[in-house]
């Protein structure tokens, strides 16, 4: 007999109840596999370098190869959503398959979607990326708070109720970011966002499920703006390791006060070694070891 709506709802509720909070799951993965997140960024140039067509089939081969290469060896992967969206509905279908493959392989997934809006639109984004039963639901999603931190409330609350997580853009390394994030000096927009995330994580005693995106190369800005991360209990996604210039040593110096919270992210430095799975894994392990 077909499964009833009531049975499906019960199954989803049971799955949510059984899922530990994202912060706990991430802390366990980092302890077991090291503090590295591998970006899955299927840029046209990387697809060509792998001998793949810039289409949905090439996208699928690229994405699943990365998952297969690093599963159970790194803490997480981070698919760049825009690079799937550019292929339309077929690209989104590949993203759904990639997220399902991560779940099957017990590999944490962070959808790099940078969503941010207000009201019912934000609630819809939350349902898509964090809701039970959504084919796009990842373990966590990146969010943009620049319509006001509380505009993210639908996603924050849904993540908490489903055992998933979010990473809120805090201090990024792109030159344009300073025109918004640095405004206010020692009372900057970025510092206020960090403080809001700290309040979100205040009820937990270990790593929380509301994270921050802090660029791996912004150490001097953290000092200049008076931003302290160690008390936030936030997992900190730190992109910029490798091809963007940051080294493991640089990151250890910049994030000395909160090193156990840091999840370093590398994409191109690792991905350009494909499509050979063994080469991808070795590149990932070298990068991971630089963070230990």
Residue 112 Cα distances to 43, 140, 277, angstroms? 14, 9, 23
Looking up tokens 């405004």, which residue turns up? Answer: 183
Are 131 and 158 in contact, with CB atoms under 8 Å apart? yes
Cα 10 from Cα 126, distance rounded (Å): 21
Q: At 12, phi and psi to the nearest 5?
A: -65, -40
Are 215 and 209 in contact, with CB atoms under 8 Å apart? no
- CA trace torsion 105, 110, 111, 114 (10° rounding): 180
Residue 151 Cα distances to 98, 125, 147, 168, 280, angstroms? 29, 12, 6, 12, 39
- Give catalytic residues, as residue numbers: 114
Residue 22 Cα distances to 1, 77, 90, 162, 163, angstroms? 35, 14, 29, 9, 6
Are 186 and 223 in contact, with CB atoms under 8 Å apart? no
Are 78 and 38 in contact, with CB atoms under 8 Å apart? yes
Cα 1 from Cα 254, distance rounded (Å): 58
* CA angle, residues 39, 45, 47, in degrees to nearest 5: 70
In terms of Cα–Cα distance, which of 240, 162, 160, 229 is closest to 195? 229
Are 75 and 24 in contact, with CB atoms under 8 Å apart? no
């Amino acid at each position: 007999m077909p499964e009833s709506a009531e049975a499906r709802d019960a199954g989803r509720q049971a799955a949510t109840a059984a899922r530990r909070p994202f912060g706990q799951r991430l802390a366990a993965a980092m302890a077991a596999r090291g503090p590295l997140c591998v970006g899955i960024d299927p840029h046209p140039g990387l697809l060509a370098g792998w001998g793949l067509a810039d289409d949905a089939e090439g996208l699928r081969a690229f994405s699943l190869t990365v998952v297969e290469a690093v599963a159970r060896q790194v803490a997480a992967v981070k698919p760049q959503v825009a690079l799937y969206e550019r292929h339309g509905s077929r690209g989104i279908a590949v993203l759904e398959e990639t997220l399902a493959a991560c779940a099957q392989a017990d590999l944490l997934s962070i959808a790099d979607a940078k969503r941010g809006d207000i009201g019912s639109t934000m609630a819809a984004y939350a349902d898509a990326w964090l809701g039970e039963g959504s084919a796009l639901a990842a373990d966590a999603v990146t969010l943009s708070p620049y319509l006001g931190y509380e505009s993210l409330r639908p996603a924050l609350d849904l993540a908490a109720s489903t055992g998933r997580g979010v990473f809120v853009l805090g201090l990024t390394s792109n030159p344009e970011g300073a025109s918004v994030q640095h405004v206010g000096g020692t009372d900057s927009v970025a510092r206020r966002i960090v403080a809001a995330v700290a309040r979100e994580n205040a009820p937990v005693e270990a790593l929380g499920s509301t994270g921050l995106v802090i660029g791996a190369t912004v150490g001097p800005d953290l000092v200049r703006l008076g931003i302290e991360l160690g008390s936030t209990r936030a997992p900190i996604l730190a992109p910029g390791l490798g091809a963007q210039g940051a080294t493991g040593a640089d990151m250890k110096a910049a994030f000395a006060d909160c090193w156990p919270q840091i999840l370093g992210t590398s994409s191109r430095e690792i991905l350009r070694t494909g499509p050979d799975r063994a080469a991808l894994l070795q590149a990932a392990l070298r990068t991971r070891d630089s963070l230990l």
